Amino acid sequence: MTLLADIERLVTCESPSTDLAAVARSADVTAEVGSALLGAPPDRIVLDGRTHLRWRLGSGPRKVLLLGHHDTVWPIGTLARIPFEVRDGVLRGPGCFDMKTGVAMIFHAVAALGSPDGVTVLVTGDEEIGSPSSRGLIETEAREHSAVLVTEGSADGGALKTERKGTSMYEVALHGRAAHAGLEPERGVSATVEAAHQVLAVSALTDLAAGTTVTPTVLTSGTTTNTVPAQARFSVDVRVRNLAEQVRVDRAMHALRPVLDGARVEVTGGPNRAPMELSASAGLFELACGLAGFELAQAAVGGASDGNFTAGVGVPTLDGLGAVGGGAHAESEHVLVSELAPRTTLLAALVKELT
């Protein structure tokens, strides 16, 4: 099966997002696989040292953007521990589910249509770190199209992703005043104590009923055990289901004020990805159900993807059209081989209908 061979080529070229040389090597392999199937080389777009690939097929108006990424979370050397393999109908290997199988599926689905006009394929190289260099490219491309199809892995049981939470990321820095913890602690202003107050304030912004989570994560403070800490810092991960909640939390984060006299609070960061709300995907999901020939489910998920960007600029977007499997970012990552053909056929049918 040619699709399996192409997935193997992509998976066995390791591409952690933070290793620019590895991402460039992966771009070379991805370009070779895609060019062989699409009949043309891609535009190679290097932004901040990261390599992105774009194929613009046909000369007519842009209609459908097929979106994926070739970077992964796995460090170089993971293949030695988790090799590519297909056993008992299950495909494994680092990045197979998230999302190199989906990239291969794009190439095979488009190739099955011959020479579709108005189709753009965009495969980026920094999605796993928040798409810092490719976001503008993704949003610009999306605005030229009437629909975006994202081949990230499916939700549980093969469900398509019709809602994705938006994400915001913050750093909260606490500035106090150092003093000897034994001799004159009263002269100090503890950044650790201020951090404790602020962590509780930030956590209180969570609204589970609205689907909003505000989670303090990494926390650092102090220098030595006998010094009142002058500096502390913690990170905050925010997930929201709608734009109103993202705005509410952002305002509250930037309105944080110190509790201790003499302390100072500095907040940086903000929204990274807008939520992909159901209204952005409803029409495309209905179309997919009519074309599939098998039952499709839909799911709202907490994780974000580049589909958040395209939905955020107002372009209808359907996500989760890639591999059926699971274990993204985990050693259990896998793909169900039996689902590859029907899902690739569905992707091709969607592209055909939309063009």
Exposure of 56 by Cβ count < 10 A (0-12 exposed, 13-18 middle, 19+ buried)? middle
Secondary structure (3-state) at 11: helix
Please say whether the beta carbons of 176 and 190 come within 8 A: yes
Say if residues 319 and 152 touch (Cβ distance below 8 Å): yes
- Measured between alpha carbons, how far is 108 from 341 in angstroms, rounded to an integer? 10
Query: Is 287:325 a contact under the CB 8 Å cutoff?
Result: no
Largest CA distance in the chain: 79
Structural contact between residues 102 and 320, judged by C-beta atoms closer than 8 angstroms:
no
Q: What is the helix (H) or strand (E) element at residue 300, kind and residue range?
A: strand 298-301
Query: Which residues form the catalytic set?
Result: 71, 127
d(CA 195, CA 219): 9
The verdict on whether omega for the bond into residue 99 sits within 30 degrees of 0, i.e. cis, is: yes
Of the candidates 349, 189, 211, 203, the one whose C-alpha atom is nearest the C-alpha of residue 277 is 211
For 188, the 3-state DSSP assignment is coil
CA–CA dist 82, 93 (Å, integer) = 6
User: In terms of Cα–Cα distance, which of 347, 307, 341 is closest to 110?
Assistant: 347
Give the position of tokens 């839909």: 298
Structure-token pair, residue 148: 């975006």
Helices marked H in the chain — which ranges?
2-11, 20-38, 78-81, 101-111, 135-143, 191-203, 243-254, 278-292, 307-312, 340-354
